[in-house]
Amino acid sequence: MQYGMVDMCIVGADRVTRCGDVVNKIGTYLKALAATANHLPFYVALPASTLDMQMRDAVKEVEIETRSEDEVLYMHGIDDVGAINRIRIAPRQTKAANYAFDITPAHLVTGLITERGICAASEATITQMFDDLI
């Protein structure tokens, strides 16, 4: 992005609130921040079934799934004799958080690409376009 090799960013979503907050795999928020910092449009592509019209504020209302800390504290590799071994890559006393999802706030989203067209990531435009889902 910083070298001008990206025109826009498009990601998917696991859930989108009626206000346009996006819940998706970890790293989506960082892509939105990078796109914003580089003055690039950041779009989210989703089917209407992904909209959660009952939810307004993902940061306050979504409990983010955590996975085993072992996924980030250990790795598997092939040693010098060709055997596959699991090794710890952090000191024993190290604890880790391993979140599966993050939340991208609506103000970082240029637009939502849906089967009904593209709309702004705002409650007014989402509820207008998807009033039958309310």
The DSSP H or E segment spanning 45 is strand 42-45
Query: Six-digit token pair at 120?
Result: 């702004």
CA-nearest of 124, 102, 133 to 20 is 124
State how far the Cα of 104 lies from the Cα of 28, in Å rounded to an integer: 7
Written as six digits, the tokens of 1 are 């992005």
> Which residues are annotated as catalytic?
14
- For residue 98, which amino acid is it? N
Half-sphere exposure of 21 (CA within 13 A, CB side): 18
